[in-house]
Amino acid sequence: MDAADTAADSAARATAPEVALAVALTGEQQKFRHTLRDLLAERARPGGSRAAGPEGYDTGLWARLADTLGLAGLALPAEYGGAGRGSAELALACEETGRALAPSPLLATAVLAAPLIAALGTPAQRAELLPRIADGSLTCALAVPGGSLALALGLTGDNTAEHWSGGGRAGGIQARAVDGGWRLYGEAAQVLDGHTADLLLVAAHTGGFARSRTLLFLVREREGGTPGVVRTRRTALDPTRPQAGVELRDAEAELLGEEPADVLGALAATGRTAAVMLAAEAVGAAGAALDRAIAHLGSRGQPQAQAQALAAKGTLADLYVRVEAARSLTYCAAREPGPGPEGGPLALAQALEALRATTGESARLHGGDSTEDQEARLFFQRAASDELLFGPARRLRARAAERTGLFGEVAA
């Protein structure tokens, strides 16, 4: 038995309880996992150009994911053309896309935008937009001011306590009512898939000091461009998560839903569910990075390499435990009843730490300028990028503790 097998065998024995909990999938879910994994292996192979083209993702692959497997509408109600599945099925899909580091509109459209439209939209807006999201023909992006996505979603702080969307009459993104409609002015710096999305959901501040509040608006892409809207794709730390800056200069917009509406509550509930899906992505990426590290050690036959593999055995076993523990927490959170699972941010914190540790070790073991090293770096970039966008882990835990009153505080 070589060093790689020894590491894997030792890890498997140490983590049997975690594995049993993590992979308790139905036969249908297992079939779905295998079908999705095979498709991603065919179209999003490691080492391929994951972010090629102006869209930043493979449009043909997305069409197959949305049409053949129904990923875009997996969690949407059947009345809107969705599959009506729960969060566990969507988490399973996110784990596989994370494993392949496959860029797609799944996170921005199905995880962030669709739940907000379903929760806040008028019956007419839901009937118009959700079926197009479900069949993959409409992509969306959530635009919030500055770099405050984690705060807007209530992941790292109380989104009702800070003026992240803009305070008073300046700063952030401002909305003003004009002739029965709305106009937006401001900028969002980090909008996932913001350069190509067909529909922008923009969080904006309105009401000045008298009726200060945050609302969500729809900004539709028009042929030839939308007046007052400038989108600029920006270089991202993780090339598999395309980002854009969006400038709004007196841009025409449509209010999502009707006033009064609990916009901040809907954002926070969406954030807690999104945390589960992000955790699933991170678990998938961490598992793939760990598999690659084990395979790399097993492929080296020189005595020095064998010694290195033996030295790494304990580290890989420990990382295996961390990944499987994060996977278990993620699926436990995905199965929580009710809107916005409270376990989501805690699962995300655990998964981000497992991803960072696993990808760091994988990058260290690969070393050099080989193709394998470049791929290991992509996994490491995903870990660093997600920490910046949605973390850090310590703040996710602190906010979760505050919400649940873990330390005797009143939940926000």
Task: Say what the pLDDT of residue 404 is.
Answer: 81
What is the per-residue pLDDT across 92-141, written as a single tens digit (0 to 9) for each?
Answer: 999 999 999 999 999 999 999 999 999 999 999 999 999 999 999 999 99
Closest CA to 100 of 18, 24, 33, 194: 33
Per-residue exposure over 260-280, b if at least 16 CB sit within 10 Å of its own CB, e if not: ebebbbbbbbbbbbbbbbbbb
pTM equals 0.89
What is the per-residue pLDDT across 13-64, written as a single tens digit (0 to 9) for each?
Answer: 333 333 434 457 888 889 999 999 999 988 875 544 455 578 889 999 999 9
Residues 250-269: what's their mean pLDDT? 96
Task: Say what the pLDDT of residue 125 is.
Answer: 98
Give the contacts of 338 (CB within 8 A, at least 6 positions apart).
none
Closest CA to 285 of 392, 372, 386: 386
What is the per-residue pLDDT across 376-391, written as a single tens digit (0 to 9) for each?
Answer: 888 999 999 999 999 8
Mean pLDDT of the chain: 85
8 A C-beta contact, residue 230 and residue 249: yes
What is the per-residue pLDDT across 347-384, written as a single tens digit (0 to 9) for each?
Answer: 999 999 999 999 988 877 766 545 566 778 889 999 99
Task: Say what the pLDDT of residue 16 is.
Answer: 37
Q: How far, in Å, CA of 285 to CA of 50, rounded?
A: 14
According to DSSP, the β-strands at 181-192 and 243-255 are antiparallel
